[in-house]
Amino acid sequence: MESGNEFPGNDSGVNSIKIPPIVQQTIEFIQSDDPNSKIQAAREIRRFTKTSLKFRRHFSGAIEPLVAMLRSDSPDCYEAALLAILNLAVRDETNKVAIVNAGALQPLICFLKSNDSNLREYATAALLTLSASAINKPKISASGAIPLLVEILRDASPQAKVDGLMALYNLSTLPENLSIILAAKAISLLVNLLKSCRKSSKTAEKCSALLESLLSFDEGRTALTSEEGGVLAVVEVLESGSLQSREHAVGALLTMCESDRHRYREPILREGVIPGLLELTVQGTPKSQSKAQTLLGLLRDSPYRRTEFHADTLENIVYNIVSQIDGEDRGGKAQKMLAEMVQVSMEQSLRHLQKRALVCTPKDRSLSNCTAKVSSK
């Protein structure tokens, strides 16, 4: 805790009307005409507001001069002001809105185009924080930030890519923004992120969530199936992602299959999705379980048959078990039978999965290695 930043008689919390003298003095410095004083004051604001909600409220009066620093001609001013603004916006809705209203978006857009990787990273982080505000989302979209954030996914530091993804996810909750994200060719970049990240990570979760939304558009579905390893990347999240990621992944595949069963069943089946779906009907969230069962039903009617399955034997047995399970029976005999069938299905699918991954074992298989082998053929 910032014990050195606490002041006697000022313990009434965030809504205190008493402003500590150090706050008043720092705001005076940042309003001065001396660039060095401004930079030092911005750095002090960053320090005070790093963990303190109270000081974020106290320093709200510094927002306009900090935003003005973003329009100066000094790179040192940019960095100091950006970092202070970032801290002021964290967990403070009022400050988020005030920063945008003070005109921060225009310089932030310029920083996204900068050749300075640090500025791009800080600007992306700022847009991530500001985009968490429902009030700010339409303004950020109108500023032209979305195509630039998509470009961040292509060519930026690893941290900027993660922050750019999270910002796009925030903005995607406005339905009208989905078409803008699609038009910026985001699908291939999201697939690349999904391939390279840990499937249990927050990055995978937001990637799969954004893909699920984008696949509600025909052009999104076409882009995913046209991307080498696109469907496979989603299937791998379904197999080994977090509970929330798996829910988004099965939702994405279900959206595809429901939109055009004839077109998408075979590409989905070809990636060995059945074992993961069967496991999800037992171990997933309630939504995942329901979606997995629905998708299994849609895939069952496909004329496509993997060689591991034989008509009227394993596949039909599994589907019969799935169709018999309801909410009251999940803890009973049917669940145990299904769990056993999942294991059998996985064992029988091993040859197919190894062939698909060019004989990379589950332990050492990484998508990047497998992709490298494919590209070298």
- The verdict on residue 64 lying in a domain is yes
CA 142 to chain centre: 21
**Residue 149 near residue 109, CB atoms below 8 Å:** no
Q: What is the pTM of this model?
A: 0.78
- The verdict on residue 18 lying in a domain is yes
Question: What is the average per-residue pLDDT within 71-84?
Answer: 94
> Tokens for 22?
């150090």
Instruction: Name the least confident of 3-12, 92-101, 150-159, 212-221.
Output: 3-12
**Residue 265 near residue 298, CB atoms below 8 Å:** yes
The pLDDT assigned to 13 comes to: 42
Give 41-71 pLDDT, tens digit per residue: 999 999 999 999 999 999 999 999 999 999 9
The pLDDT assigned to 300 comes to: 84
**Residue 271 near residue 232, CB atoms below 8 Å:** yes
356 band by pLDDT with thresholds 50, 70 and 90: low
> Tokens for 143?
């500023």
More confident: 293 or 365: 293
**Residue 89 near residue 130, CB atoms below 8 Å:** yes
- Per-residue pLDDT for 316 more than 90? no
The pLDDT assigned to 304 comes to: 42
- Per-residue pLDDT for 361 more than 90? no
**What angle (nearest 5°) sits at the alpha carbon of residue 309, between those of residues 270 and 224?**
10
19 band by pLDDT with thresholds 50, 70 and 90: confident
- Per-residue pLDDT for 256 more than 80? yes
Spatial separation of the C-alpha atoms in residues 187 and 148, rounded to whole Å: 15
Helix, strand, coil abundance in the chain, percent, nearest 5: 70, 0, 30
For residues 135, 137, 138, 143, the Cα torsion angle rounded to the nearest 10 degrees is: 120
Spatial separation of the C-alpha atoms in residues 170 and 354, rounded to whole Å: 37
Neighbours of 224 (CB within 10 A): 24
Domain CATH for 39: 1.25.10.10
C-alpha distance from residue 86 to each of 157, 166, 167, 186 (Å): 18, 15, 14, 26
* Structural domains of the chain, count: 1
C-alpha distance from residue 84 to each of 98, 115, 122, 162 (Å): 14, 22, 11, 21
- The verdict on residue 72 lying in a domain is yes
- The verdict on residue 209 lying in a domain is no
Question: What is the average per-residue pLDDT within 186-214?
Answer: 97
Please name the amino acid found at residue 295.
L
Spatial separation of the C-alpha atoms in residues 153 and 148, rounded to whole Å: 9
Question: What is the average per-residue pLDDT within 273-295?
Answer: 94
341 band by pLDDT with thresholds 50, 70 and 90: low
**Residue 334 near residue 325, CB atoms below 8 Å:** yes
- The verdict on residue 24 lying in a domain is yes
The pLDDT assigned to 279 comes to: 93
Question: What is the average per-residue pLDDT within 69-98?
Answer: 96
Neighbours of 3 (CB within 10 A): 5
More confident: 342 or 300: 300
Give 116-139 pLDDT, tens digit per residue: 999 999 999 999 999 999 999 999
Spatial separation of the C-alpha atoms in residues 273 and 135, rounded to whole Å: 40
**What angle (nearest 5°) sits at the alpha carbon of residue 267, between those of residues 264 and 271?**
140
DSSP string, 261-318: HHHHHHHHHHTT-HHHHHHHHHHS-HHHHHHHHHHHHHHHT-S---TT--TTTHHHHH
**Residue 190 near residue 207, CB atoms below 8 Å:** yes
- The verdict on residue 145 lying in a domain is no
Spatial separation of the C-alpha atoms in residues 233 and 235, rounded to whole Å: 5
Spatial separation of the C-alpha atoms in residues 224 and 182, rounded to whole Å: 11
Spatial separation of the C-alpha atoms in residues 175 and 42, rounded to whole Å: 37
CA 357 to chain centre: 26
Please name the amino acid found at residue 346.
M
Q: Phi, psi (5° rounding) for residue 8? A: -60, 140
> Tokens for 189?
């970049």
**Residue 321 near residue 338, CB atoms below 8 Å:** yes
Neighbours of 21 (CB within 10 A): 8
- The verdict on residue 269 lying in a domain is no
- The verdict on residue 69 lying in a domain is yes
- Per-residue pLDDT for 86 more than 60? yes
42: domain range?
Answer: 13-103
- How much of the chain exceeds pLDDT 70, in percent? 75
